Amino acid sequence: MIKKAANLDNASVLMNCLFDWTDADDLTRINGAESFYYRAQGLPYVPRNYALQYKEEVGFVKGFEKGLYDKIQPYLTMLASTGFNPNTASDAVLMAYLDLNEESLKTLKEFMSQKAIASNTELFALTGRWLGGEDDFYPSTFMEITVRSGAPKTIYSIRTGLNVTQNTYSPYSVVYWNEE
């Protein structure tokens, strides 16, 4: 029980630091971090005080430094949320989002190997979890493309996120662009 309480305290610190990074003021939340903290650490940056612009930015936030960021980055996205689609989620995301144990995950995966989940009713029958809202279990309109140059060692790469929803002016829009 003590370990669980410590994890909840840590989560509170992480969230306060993340909120301080994105809020429009320089007022520090309890256990948070604003400009003063980052300057005192000798860091060459301060909070953006605006919404995150790319997921790697999370690694700059107090508490999310390299070790933690590396662990969570495969589960982060900067793309708009169009609902949760259990048909395309990884096992780790399914277990965390739906609060499933290994046995429930196995049942869900066996079902999905035969047929995609099409409704909350099916999801509830399989897992006991109801997502609420509409039955919006459809593929995302977002994709990430990575282009690497150089062989055998990459010397330059570009990673970009695209929204492939067409509008009046273009067949897609660039959500982010990262050159390395």
Write down the pLDDT at residue 1: 39
Last residue within a domain, chosen from 75, 105, 124: 75
> In this structure, are 20 and 71 located in the same domain?
yes
pLDDT in tens, 23-40: 999 999 999 999 999 999
Strand order in the sheet with 142-149: 142-149, 156-163, 173-179
- Write b or e for each residue in 111-147: b if 16 or more Cβ atoms lie within 10 A of its Cβ, otherwise e: bbeeeebeebebbeebbebebeeeeebeeeebeeeee
Higher pLDDT, 52 or 35: 35
Contact 85, 138 (CB under 8 A): yes
Last residue within a domain, chosen from 49, 75, 101: 75
> In this structure, are 91 and 134 located in the same domain?
yes
Higher pLDDT, 108 or 54: 108
Name the phi and psi angles at 156, rounded to 5: -155, 140
Binned at pLDDT 50, 70 and 90, residue 5 comes out as very low
Write down the pLDDT at residue 149: 92
DSSP state of 131: -
pLDDT in tens, 76-124: 876 656 667 888 888 988 998 899 999 999 999 999 999 988 888 889 9
- Please calculate the CA angle 161-162-165 and round it to the nearest 5 degrees: 155
Domain carrying residue 68 = 2-75
pTM across the whole model: 0.54
**In which element (H, E) is residue 13 found?**
helix 2-22
Q: What percent of the chain has pLDDT over 90?
A: 35
Last residue within a domain, chosen from 75, 108, 124: 75
With a cut of 90, say whether residue 170 has pLDDT above it.
no
- Tally of domains within the chain: 3
> In this structure, are 22 and 33 located in the same domain?
yes
